[in-house]
Amino acid sequence: KKSLPAMQSFFYICEYLGVTPKEFFDDENTDPTALREFIQEAQRLDAKSMEYILGIMKELNSRK
């Protein structure tokens, strides 16, 4: 009979990899570290700067 690792072991694995459990299972996010860093920096912006960056992101995504 096979057993799964304990949840605590899973959390240690996530910590070692530098990802959250949500990021571990998020197969659409190809670079969780960069996304986390982007969000941390974005949280420091004022509303006007955030709107500017959001506009750039939307423009870049519309070109795909």
pLDDT in tens, the chain (64 residues): 677 778 999 999 989 988 889 888 998 988 888 888 999 999 999 999 999 999 999 999 999 7
pLDDT at 48: 97
Q: What is the pLDDT of residue 51?
A: 95
Q: How far is CA 40 from CA 1, 33, 37, 43, 53, in A?
A: 43, 11, 5, 5, 14
Domain ranges of the chain: 29-64
Among the listed residues 41, 63, 24, the one whose alpha carbon sits nearest the alpha carbon of residue 53: 41
Handedness of CA 28, 38, 17, 8 (dihedral sign): negative
Give me the pLDDT at residue 1, please.
67
**3-class SS shares of the chain: helix, strand, coil, % to 5:** 65, 0, 35
